[in-house]
Amino acid sequence: MDVISKFHNYSTTTANWRLTSGYLHEGSSDFESVHILLGRFLVDRTSEDPLADKSLFTSDGIFEWGYAQPLEKVIHSWKDLEFLLLHPNLFRKSITIIEPWHHVGANALGEEVRASNNVAYIAQKVADMDSILLPVWSTGVIDLDLVVPAITSGYAVVVEGGNPSVYDPSGWTYPACPREDMFALVEKLLISRSPTSAPAIFICLGHQLAAECHVRLIRRAVEQVLNVTFLERDKDGKALKSLQESCLRIEAMGQTLQVKKRDGRNVATSWNDPHFAVALNETKEVGARLLLPYQSPDGDALGIPWEIIYAHDVTADTHEGVIDTTIQYEREVSISMFHSDEVNEEAILFANWAYRSIHDAIVPYRHIIASSPLSWLIQLPDSVEILCSTAVEGEIVTECSATCINYKDFETKKIRRSFTCQFHPELLSDLRAIGHSQAPSYSTLKNDDGVRLFIRLLYAGMQE
């Protein structure tokens, strides 16, 4: 039976949903216990499982969404969402996993890999964190103004991978969720990181969607700022002038920045090109890869303006992105790659520079911007940093393998973070969905680099 058939045939009702958090110790899971257990997992690679020795699979060996606990919470419809909104603790004490597609690809065995199973299994097994699934490929995004505040009230939001290409609208074949709806959802998530919100982790296609939406948000900001002629309480016009001068520089850079590949392809000539943020990679990457620290490019050789490289060097020096620190202090970090498209290095360097420019232009005039039609600009990230790359036989294959999205609070100066990964930290080396393979033990998870990295992102993000 394929995944789509399972999804429809294993439909549980809200009457079967647990109303208390936790499954291994039902009713005993909360933010503090979850955070302690995540930290315990990361302390070493040898300690024993502190949770009950209880299988997450059913007695007949099934671990699949919508079939039974602990994977009973699937949003099939508005009615399911309404039930969750009436029980807000279910969102608050869960990870919400968003599926743009019904699988993330096919592995060497020909199996369609539903990686959301792995996210839910790892979270439950390691820290008894419940998960809620929003399969937007089937349900659509429903209502952004209701969905996003609800899902960002929890422990984390994970946007999974999928088969379509960000730059090709024809590949988004599920009528319930066309490409523009996914863009709208990801854009909303990117500007919803606040002191009271959950971190977002964007994986594979999610990573690519985030990159495209960075550019879309920056283009929207530039267009709106340049179309404004007057801001109330901006008596001498300095606030608007500061923003407009920054946006004119961003527009000029965006209209002339080219994206070139190592194989000689010129895939984009400006930020209006559909391949500016994401393009076909030189080489398809499937299987285990070592993560390498990101190295700034040679701007003269590649034709990348020095100011956007310099801005990224400053971001890298002043922010900590978790993944880069892990690479520095852990042993070799091996993860699972599973992609044909990649996020373009130039696009992220540009996005970082543009975000920093907008943020700095707002700082002295934030009290004016905060009470204007441009107030949404305050919600934009402060910066975005490329954290690591991958290589094959010494040759870089994917320059931008992960990013850290930074949000600097204008008043407290505190930093909040979300993360994107081209790789799949939730997949083990067999590239199989848990449920198709045997249930991995706590010890197996504890010794897997990708799983440890995923847990580290949750652990760090929950502290902010």
Residue-wise pLDDT tens digits, 344-356: 999 999 999 999 9
> Is the CB of residue 203 less than 8 Å from the CB of residue 335?
no
pLDDT above 60: residue 339: yes
Q: Two tokens at 206?
A: 């999610």
pLDDT for 11 equals 52
pLDDT for 108 equals 86
- List the domain boundaries for the chain: 3-204+426-462, 210-421
What global pTM score does this model have? 0.95
Residue of 217, 242, 184, 198 lying closest to 372 (CA atoms):
242
Q: What angle do CA 201, 270, 207 make, to 5 degrees?
A: 10
Give the separation between CA 155 and CA 270, rounded to whole angstroms: 37
Q: Are strands 200-203 and 415-421 parallel, antiparallel or unpaired?
A: parallel
pLDDT above 90: residue 414: yes
Q: What angle do CA 155, 161, 163 make, to 5 degrees?
A: 160
b/e for 416-452, b at 16 or more Cβ within 10 A? Answer: bbbbbbbbbbbbbebbbbbbbbeebebeebbebbbbb
> Is the CB of residue 355 less than 8 Å from the CB of residue 312?
no
How far lies 402's CA from each of 77, 191, 292, 396, 423, in Å?
33, 19, 11, 14, 8
Give the separation between CA 94 and CA 80, rounded to whole angstroms: 15
How far lies 166's CA from each of 180, 298, 342, in Å?
10, 27, 10
Q: Two tokens at 272?
A: 């209006």
Q: Where do runs of H (alpha helix) occur along 10-142?
A: 31-43, 78-86, 88-92, 116-127, 136-139
> Is the CB of residue 443 less than 8 Å from the CB of residue 44?
no
pLDDT above 80: residue 430: yes
Residue-wise pLDDT tens digits, 245-300: 999 999 999 999 999 988 788 999 999 999 999 998 877 777 788 899 999 998 88
